[in-house]
Chain A
């Protein structure tokens, strides 16, 4: 059972948009920045969003992040077949004194 809760799967048609939620508590999301990672099967995770809403260089602006209270969200617009992957949120938990990942969300592009 992950400290951060994500939906197991989301899906949408190519060209459409999708949001992936990440729910936590005051000891993690509520008091720290959130990061998002993309993992294509068989490859290492890749950083998509850090500090809640900042994209590293090279990440298209179709990907966006937001945070409100104890929840965060990853948005993907203009869905492409190459966006099919697992997506994970991550943050620091002050009670655990360690980082935590969400359980991951599988994105399917129909």
Chain B
């Protein structure tokens, strides 16, 4: 059974850095693209980007280009989303999700529970 476990709530100040994690299990970690989705308070889902764990190839939405960094640690089957300098507008729930098949543009078949990031001075 595929499981997607995300790190917990983060409360940060503007300008601080942050890395949130997403541990996946129950399958071969290298095989499926892993994506990140933002949901701002009371708003819809926004596609941030996606990473291929086998070689760290990434695709990033133009709206998020240069704002976040994607990485993986294959030794612990974990994906990361990182900010170098947070802004209050980064306050949101961030979901990690695994593609249903090994194809880049397939559906997100497995979702994490979401990680709340709150940025306030």
Stretch from A9-17, A18-26, A29-37, A74-82 at the B interface: A29-37
Interface string of B31-68 (1 = CB under 8 A from A): 00001010000001111011000000001111000000
Q: In the complex, which residue of chain A has the Cβ closest to the Cβ of B109?
A: A47
B106–A101 touching, CB < 8 Å: no
Residues on A with beta carbons closer than 8 Å to the beta carbon of B60: 98
Stretch from B8-16, B20-28, B75-83, B110-118 at the A interface: B110-118
Residues on B with beta carbons closer than 8 Å to the beta carbon of A86: 44
Q: A44-B114, A98-B59 known; A32 and B109 CB under 8 Å? A: no
Nearest chain A CB to B95 CB, angstrom units: 6
Task: Indicate if B18 sits at the interface (CB-CB under 8 A).
Answer: no
Q: How many residues of B contact A (CB 8 A)?
A: 25
Please classify how large the interface on chain A is, using the bins under 10, 10 to 19, 20 to 34, 35 or more.
20 to 34
> Of B47, B50, B108, B114, which is within 8 A of A47 by CB?
B108
A-B pairs under 8 A by CB, number: 73
CA distance A90 to B105 in the complex (A): 10
SS class, residues of chain A in contact with chain B: strand
CA distance A104 to B45 in the complex (A): 8
Residues on B with beta carbons closer than 8 Å to the beta carbon of A39: 45
Q: In the complex, which residue of chain A has the Cβ closest to the Cβ of B47?
A: A99
Interface residues of A (CB under 8 A from B): 2, 32-33, 35, 37, 39, 44-47, 50-51, 56, 86, 88, 90-92, 96-104
